[in-house]
Amino acid sequence: MTSVAADSNPALNVTMNGLPASSRYASGGPRPPHGTINALFFDAVERFDRADALSTKVRGVWEPMSHRTIMDRVRRTALGLAEMGIVAQDRVAILSENRPEWLIADFACICSAITDVPIYPTLPADQLPYLLNNSGARAIFVSNADQAKKVASIRSEVPGLQWIIGFAATTADGCDLTLAEIEAKGAAVDNAERATTFKRDALAVTPDQLVTLIYTSGTTGNPKGVMLTQDNLYSNVISTKTTLHVSTSDLALSFLPLSHIFERTGDYFLFSNGVRIAYAESIDTVPVNMSEVKPTMMMSVPRLYEKIYARVVENAVAGGGLKKRIFFWAKNVGEKWADEKLAGREPGGVLAMQYALAQKLVFSKLKERTGGNLRFFVSGGAPLSPDIAKFFYSAGLIILEGYGLTETSPVISTNTFENYRLGSVGRPIPGVEVMIAADGEILSRGPHIMRGYYNHPEATKDAIDEEGWFHTGDIGELTDGFLRITDRKKDIIVTAGGKNIAPQPIENMLRTNKYVSQAVMIGDKRKFPIVLIVPNWDQLEKWAASQSIVWTSRAELLAMPTINAKMEKEVNAKLEGLAHYETPKKIALLEHDFSVERGELTPTLKVKRRVIDKSYKPLIDSLYEE
């Protein structure tokens, strides 16, 4: 493979020497200097030294934690681990929901050159032994009694695991000791000299030091441990700093799992910029927590925006009459206003007056639901529907969509206020190169690319070629330096007639319907595509009640011709405009959501299409036999 040198022009878009003319290349510009997350941590504590660096809700009250308290607790935790004999190069797992202790344990490990292994708190117990054994974890931090009992139940299968350490869990829950006890061990040997030595040793950690093993959930096979170094994460944080501007006046609500690289690197970015971080109580409480802490920014996967959009539309429709007409009038005005702004023109005249009225009557209420102070959202982890992005943009709540993977630390590209293109995932960030291969696959190269997969040299070789290009597995396009994702390479459906279908955009479109919770297209090597639909039960049951339909179970409801006709109508309305060959010919309604526990979703809620195809094979086969 022949490449060209990285260029400082962020919009570079050239034909590659030795590759088909359709292959394209873009560079975010020069890479940042080498560095470490440890240096960013100490710098942030000393430079900002604020009393409310973090906050979390305790017994109904939001309690702040200062930079100095964080530093003291990180140091004492690190010293306590050393007293236990856990030293540099050891592995320590973290199984916890978001909370300040997650960050404290993380920084204690990486400042000590201990490699931590984050594990999704939603994973069932039977998936833990593989991760703990493969990584060689000597200890694991757990958040609460439920997580402690989960680990205790499989402990006999993990002979190398020596300690279970509880944040809020105790020995009664199966822990060997608590974080408080480890901090006490550290405090017993802590003094001014040890503090100086701790800082010196942490800052002496080299950029190539392994920071973390993050196991990718994957859609096939066992998870692989992604090896990320200090410099991988540091370069990503520094490059993001130059493209996404935040300040000490910002407050972020953190609710995506810190075991997810998107939230974790994002929190490093926030912490190093002096942004206050408030940890949501849970994903379910995000709407309430938004109104309480009034964030100025938030990071999320598209599902949050889909739910907000569906709720707003539902409330407008349920209001009926004048309320409904005003909402859809405002939505139409907002879209016209957005078209002008996105075309680089300033809306004026009647449109400007209409938009001001739409803001007052409709959009201002949406902003109030987010707390009233929100400057922007960041979206990643999966494709965001352009229709939803445009709706938020027209409401004055911009969503900056970006792109990346665990293997890329994670950010490859992102939209910014200065360079924004709806439907794209932005331009590459500084130091990052992007190229579209001949088959449409997105390749990336730069300091953000992982060291490799732990104990998987062949998988590493398959993912990173000899010239350093990481093969993302995603299909995309580059236009004027802006990257657009069209689908996952492994998800492309090739029908028996040889037609190629990208299912993700169609599934995203279907999920914007208020009656649809989940949608998965099937059709590889078959005559035509079909779609499996999980209804939004709240909406469907309300509609059924309004039609005086009587039912005793959801299975009974799904068997009714009236319900099937209703769902077919709703689904087909979203499929208008598709080519004949990519339009699902039949739909099947499912009673239960796809789940992580049944192996149908990854912990990051990506669909395992092959698993679903296999799990629902009798149902799917029946649709093709009819």
Of the candidates 326, 325, 274, 268, the one whose C-alpha atom is nearest the C-alpha of residue 299 is 268
The fourth-level CATH superfamily of domain 493-625 is ANL, C-terminal domain (3.30.300.30)
Domain limits, CATH 3.30.300.30, in the chain: 493-625
Q: Residue 374 and residue 371: Cα distance in Å, rounded?
A: 7
Give the DSSP H/E element, type plus range, for residue 401. strand 398-404
Q: Is the peptide bond before 121 cis (omega within 30 degrees of 0)?
A: no
Name the pTM for this structure. 0.84
Of the candidates 97, 99, 101, the one whose C-alpha atom is nearest the C-alpha of residue 57 is 99
Distance of CA 190 to the CA centre of its chain: 38
Looking at residue 207, its pLDDT comes to 98
Whether the Cβ atoms of residue 358 and residue 333 lie closer than 8 Å to each other: yes
Q: At 10, is the pLDDT very low, low, confident or very high (cuts 50, 70, 90)?
A: very low
Q: pLDDT digits over 161-190, tens only?
A: 999 999 999 999 999 999 999 999 999 999
Calculate the alpha carbon distances from 561 to 385, 531, 568, 592, 625 in Å: 30, 18, 10, 19, 20
Q: At 22, is the pLDDT very low, low, confident or very high (cuts 50, 70, 90)?
A: very low
Domain limits, CATH 3.40.50.12780, in the chain: 37-205+244-296
Across the range 94-122, mean pLDDT stands at: 97
**Whose structure tokens read 């078959």?**
526
CA dihedral defined by 366, 372, 376, 382, rounded to 10 degrees? -50
85: left (phi over 0), alpha (psi -120 to 50) or beta: left
User: What three-state secondary structure class fits 621?
Assistant: helix
CB atoms within 10 A of CB 461: 12
> How many Cα atoms within 13 Å fall on the side-chain side of residue 25?
22
Q: pLDDT digits over 60-70, tens only?
A: 999 999 999 99
Looking at residue 580, its pLDDT comes to 87
Of the candidates 140, 138, 82, 87, the one whose C-alpha atom is nearest the C-alpha of residue 114 is 87
DSSP structure class, residue 361:
I
Helices 321-342 & 302-319 angle (0-180, nearest 10): 140
Calculate the alpha carbon distances from 504 to 388, 406, 604 in Å: 15, 20, 15
Q: What's the fold here for domain 37-205+244-296?
A: Rossmann fold (3.40.50)
Across the range 262-272, mean pLDDT stands at: 97
